[in-house]
Structure 1
Amino acid sequence: MGERSLLTRALWFLFVGWWLTPLLVNVAWLLGITVVLLPISVKLINLVPTALTLKTPQSTVDPESARSQHNLLVRAAYFVFVGWWLSFIWANVANLFAVTVIGLPIAIWMLHRLPFVLSLYRYDG
């Protein structure tokens, strides 16, 4: 599917994204508490930009961006010691910003960066 229009994405945010995103973030965080459901949790967090504004990741993998990802062991250590709790705080602060007109641009910026805050994953959307 091609890139959606700005109007479509704005309408999605107004009618769905603003309430779906906090729900998705908190369900993902709860799933992430268990080791068994952690992969599902990470997948859900990586869907946050799409749930918020229908932002889709690039369909082709750019070799340059793949090289710019942090080493998997570094990302795993970061997730265990920092990412799991920081992403929860980050996402919920962003959700609070999202309910105000003034804070909305900050909230969108923060939520689009949530995959990076969780696990240092560079989302190429």
Structure 2
Amino acid sequence: MANQHSLVVRIAWFLLVGWWLTLLAINVAWVLNVTIILLPLGIKIINRVPYLLTLKRRDTGFDPDGVPQTSLLVRAVYFVFVGWWASFIWANVAWFLCVTVIGIPFGIWMFGKLPYVTSLYRLDA
């Protein structure tokens, strides 16, 4: 992607800012999600977590299979019964993996899946 930050800048960001900002963001987002009223803001923060961690912009390409999103009603029910607590655990485990040298690749992958764990939202759909 042409507008992507260089790898050196992204590594410096991760080491100086990304690791602690991400922990703050995922926990603030979780608190906002639990309030229900501030849920949209919490979801916005969750969708930005991978960028906050490493400054990596998401690919804005389209899904070649044309898979539609899960219905909003199903996503809302999932969030109420599973997503709010599962995303909290998922995000904090991902953060822990990111602050260990060996777990960084898996932690970054987990952060990429965080919107799906939270509300079944697929970023590639």
**Normalising by the residue count of structure 1, what TM-score does the alignment of the two structures yield?**
0.87
Runs (4 or more) in structure 1 with deviation over 6 Å come to none
- Structure 1, unaligned stretches of length 5 or more? none
Q: CA deviation at 1:109?
A: 1.1
Q: CA deviation at 1:91?
A: 0.7
**Normalising by the residue count of structure 2, what TM-score does the alignment of the two structures yield?**
0.87
Deviations 1:88-110 (A, max 9, x none): 00111111212211112111111
Distance 1:93 1:58 in 2: 24
Matches within 5 A, 1:5-20: 5-20=6-21
Distance 1:117 1:27 in 2: 17
Equivalent residue, structure 2, for 1:85: 85
Distance 2:107 2:7 in 1: 17
Deviations 1:3-60 (A, max 9, x none): 2222222221111111110100000111111121111111111110110111223446
Equivalent pairs, count: 123
Distance 1:16 1:107 in 2: 16
Taking a change above 3 Å as real, the CA distance of residues 123 and 11 of structure 1, as seen in their structure-2 partners, is farther
CA RMSD between the two structures: 1.9
Taking a change above 3 Å as real, the CA distance of residues 14 and 41 of structure 1, as seen in their structure-2 partners, is same
Distance 1:114 1:28 in 2: 12
